[in-house]
Amino acid sequence: MIPAEQQTKLIKLTVNGETRALSVETHWTLSKVLRNECGHTGTKEACGEGACGSCTVLIDGVAVPACMVLAVEQEGKEIETIEGLSKGGTLHPIQEAWLEEYGAQCGFCSPGMIMSTKALLSKNPDPTVDEIKEAIGGNLCICNNYEHIINAVRSAAKKMAKEQGRG
């Protein structure tokens, strides 16, 4: 057994635009560090093995289950969590769409589902229903609220297009 102090490493993590120094154990996952060390408990963990997407965050714009990557490997990368979406109390259009379309039932999958949606819409601002299904195919909603979620993604795409003058 390796003593705990030999397993720790000092890293700099950039989360939602803020860089902070953290002492982490080398085997800690990003989801664990985000939740326990950074206090970003919006990142939910439901399976711990990349099977449900609850802990999805964006790493350099790519949707990644944070339970499947180590925190020590994230230095120098831009991490975005659900807490980074709303600015100054104003909800992001995806969050607005989620509320309008009743995208959350119990809400446990919502942060991850919303982050997957953000990744999708940044690459593909006008996705088809099949493209939406594929993009959130790795995010489980145990409440099975998928039809509402798909509507929310479509509505979000429209809102974002309008914001950017494309709508």
Contact residues for another protein (CB under 8 A)?
1, 4, 25, 27, 35-36, 39-49, 51-52, 54, 81-83, 85-86, 91, 95, 98-111, 114, 132-134, 136-150
Toward another protein, which CB reaches closer, 20 or 166?
Answer: 20
Of 87 and 165, nearer to another protein (C-beta) is 87
Nearer to another protein, 51 or 76 (CB): 51
Smallest gap from Cβ 122 to another protein, in A, equals 18
Least Å from the CB of residue 62 to another protein:
19
Q: How far is the CB of 25 from another protein (least distance, A)?
A: 7
Least separation, in Å, of the C-beta of 151 and another protein? 10
DSSP secondary structure of the chain: ---HHHHEEEEEEEETTEEEEEEEETT-BHHHIIIIIS--TTS--SSSSSSS-TTEEEETTEEEEGGGSBGGG-TT-EEE-GGGTSBTTBPPHHHHHHHHTT--SS-SSHHHHHHHHHHHHHH-SS--HHHHHHHTTT---TT--HHHHHHHHHHHHHHHHHHTT--
